[in-house]
Structure 1
Amino acid sequence: MSPHTRTTPRMRGLQDRLWAAVTDRNERAAAAVVLTALDDGIDAESVLLDVIAPVQARVGTEWAANRLGVAQEHAASAIAERVIAVLAHHPAVRTTPAPGRVTVACVDQEWHVLPARLLAEVLTLRGWQVDFLGAQVPTPHLIGHLHSNGADVVALSSSIPTRLPTAHAAITACQAVGVPVLVGGAAFGTDGRHAHRLGADAWEPDARSAARRIADGIAVPVPAAGRQQTDDLPHLGDQEYTLVVRSRPQLVREVLAQLESRFPAAAAYTARQREHTAQDIAHAVDHLGVALYMDDDGLFTDFLVWTAGILEARRVPAASLTPVLDVLGAELKDFPRATRLLDRAGAVLGTFLATTAGHDPGVPDGRTPGQEAIGGAPRAASSVG
């Protein structure tokens, strides 16, 4: 939940009612909660950010704890999208025109659209002309839109850290055509450190503060001719990120090839389980890659600890991650930054395993190490822009 969420007993009651509706997959009941709140005089922005957003954050938390399945999570998110549409067109919703146009979009390959949708709705409520482009907008299409329609600000959203290189390209491209960029979402860090590292013009942690920042004005960037990735991230000159990303298929194959000898339980995997395991290893390599891109160990170690917790919640031993790190370490031994990252990740995982020693995860419920944990993992939705 965003720290800027306004929690009162009345709001908590609405959250509980909406939670009951979405987990029961009852769209009519969910819409009734929202419409009743509007009829009772609660403003639309508060319904969006203090009722709908916290419930979606809870959906993510409950999924991570294995108390909601993937299908339930998707159903709840779909209901939230439709309820937002109902709210947006309710006769009680009024806007005050503001001078300006904002383009709101998710970066390419980013499918977690709700945070961006919430910001778009808040800006619309505050009177801005908003072009909401939705999920996974390729950068060339975004720039084409700006050339055709113009914008005072572009607001980019990303929830998954592995999208940061793509976000970097989008930020740079927008600035090159003279449009300032505000970014938000979990991918940029709780303190916005990744946003600043990538040269964004502004970062805000939630939709309310993002709307205020846009209203206050964000300076138009001076286009920098020939700006390259290494201008913001000089460590990319060592080529480790590029080489690891290019080696992704080979790294996945090598980990799979050695998995049975290092983790004997893998010998009993079905074809489907091996397929899921390959996908999960690929996501681990992706997170290693983005950690190299940003030169930030935490992007990999935090992912690893999060994944270990997800596995334990699903009664899969987190120790199954150790051979993945071992094989990657052997394969990347000639890469100093990757070696440092993997050594650090091994130490962090060791600490996690030590704190959970003696806990028997029991028999896995048909999932492989990482299945439904790494690949396509839903993040808790918030009101981040």
Structure 2
Amino acid sequence: MSTSTPPRVPHAGLMQQWTEQLWHAVSAVDEDAATELVLSILDEGTDPESVLLDVIAVVQGRVGEEWAANRISVAQEHAATAINDRAVAAVSVHPASRTTATRGRITVACVDGEWHALPARLLAEVLKLRGWQVDYLGAQVPTAHLIAHLHNTRADAVALSSSIATRMPTAHAAITACQAVGVPVLVGGAAFGPEGRYATLLGADAWAPDARTAADHLAKRRLPRPQPDHEQFDDLPHLADQEYTLVTRNSATLVRTVFTALEDAYPSMRSYNDFQRERTAEDLAHIVEFLATALYLDDEELFTWFLTWTAQILVARGVPAHSLPPALDLLARELKDFPRAARILSAGTLTLTTARSTAARNPV
């Protein structure tokens, strides 16, 4: 960093104060106030990395929590995220953030289909502050385009980000493709599961729970380059039963069939308006998509987590979650010849039933 004075890391109380101020600006959709706040914090000599990770990232986490609790709309969530992204941009061009690349070159990208780009953006800016030359490719990067970029840049590593668990099959393809051209892969984001368990399963060279840990990991040692003939797909022998492939290929048919039968299994649905019916179809599509991903990873806990989360989201929006078990039963009927799918669906039904019984015994 081109300054003779080391950046200061403020105490927790001051950091919390700044976080609250930024939250108020973001929630009021006041881009000017948010940018001015960030710049003033930097002008005081605060460490840019701390501004990125201990202020902006914390506020973005709160944005997600407020959306999940139905206290802000999707539009408000998008606006807040856009303002936080501009706040990151303000940090990146501030004189305090000027660095010289001395470590090497890293490509930072989101997995194809992953539109939550801010975590990757934060990592890219932190790596720049740590002295890396960074190629930030943004959201939803097709694997073929990523590989073409690597051929042209001789990157030392790729950092792949994903927040959506259903992107894991695509992430697997991207990881394997990068390694096949000799570039190691560090992954991060909630999609890779608790303690990064899917990162290990899918053969990533490293995993980090957050941007600071990722930067620390890369600073300690460079990831070794994989051999050109590196191959990982054989490490998922459960895929030989073709359940994942068949469920994915027939997902649209499954959704239509279950949707039609759900009116009889859940009579309240007959009074739904067009918007409610559309959202029900979307929910069924998400259920099938998460089931397919659970089949790919052979992890029923991913599916049960998704159902628990979905039930909480529905309740927060005043929608009863009672329609979920009938939908799972109908889906199980369609997939009765798929042993792993039947096991995962059974676990999901048990999880929802247990949650409802617990809620009945312990009303708020």
TM-score, normalized by length of structure 1? 0.89
Q: Which residue of 1 aligns with 2:31?
A: 27
Native 8 Å contact 1:6 1:50 kept in 2: no
Structure richer in helix, relative to its length? 2
TM-score, normalized by length of structure 2? 0.94
- Residues 337-372 of structure 1: per-residue CA shift (max 9 Å, x gap): 0000011110000011112228999xxxxxxxxxxx
Distance 1:302 1:314, change over 3 A: same
Native 8 Å contact 2:124 2:134 kept in 1: yes
Task: Say which SS state the counterpart of residue 191 (structure 1) adopts.
Answer: helix
Q: Which residue of 1 aligns with 2:102?
A: 98
Q: Which residue of 1 aligns with 2:345?
A: 342
Native 8 Å contact 1:318 1:353 kept in 2: no
Aligned residues: percent identity?
62
Structure with greater contact order relative to length (CA < 8 Å, sep ≥ 6): 1
Q: Which residue of 1 aligns with 2:223?
A: 218
Native 8 Å contact 1:94 1:125 kept in 2: yes
CA distance in 2, matches of 1:278, 1:360: 30
Task: Work out whether 1:135 is the aligned partner of 2:129.
Answer: no
CA distance in 2, matches of 1:95, 1:64: 38
| Equivalent residue in structure 1 for 2:129, among 121, 125, 148 | 125
Distance 1:340 1:26, change over 3 A: same
Native 8 Å contact 1:108 1:136 kept in 2: yes
Amino acid at match of 2:105: R
Task: Work out whether 1:48 is the aligned partner of 2:52.
Answer: yes
Amino acid at match of 1:219: P
Identify unmatched segments of 5+ residues in structure 2: 1-8
Q: Which residue of 1 aligns with 2:308?
A: 305
Amino acid at match of 1:203: W
| Equivalent residue in structure 2 for 1:246, among 230, 244, 249 | 249
Q: How many residues align?
A: 355
- Residues 110-145 of structure 1: per-residue CA shift (max 9 Å, x gap): 000011000000011112110000000000000000
Amino acid at match of 1:132: Y
Deviation at 1:190, TM superposition (A): 2.7
Identify unmatched segments of 5+ residues in structure 1: 362-385
Task: Say which SS state the counterpart of residue 333 (structure 1) adopts.
Answer: coil
CA distance in 2, matches of 1:7, 1:356: 41
CA distance in 2, matches of 1:92, 1:177: 36
- Residues 130-173 of structure 1: per-residue CA shift (max 9 Å, x gap): 00000000000000001111200000000000000000000000
Task: Work out whether 1:258 is the aligned partner of 2:261.
Answer: yes
| Equivalent residue in structure 1 for 2:199, among 190, 195, 202 | 195
Equivalent residues in 2 for 1:1-385 (5 A)?
A: 8-215=12-219, 216-224=221-229, 227=231, 229=233, 231-357=234-360
Deviation at 1:270, TM superposition (A): 2.0
Deviation at 1:272, TM superposition (A): 2.8
Amino acid at match of 1:331: E
Deviation at 1:30, TM superposition (A): 0.6
Distance 1:6 1:273, change over 3 A: farther
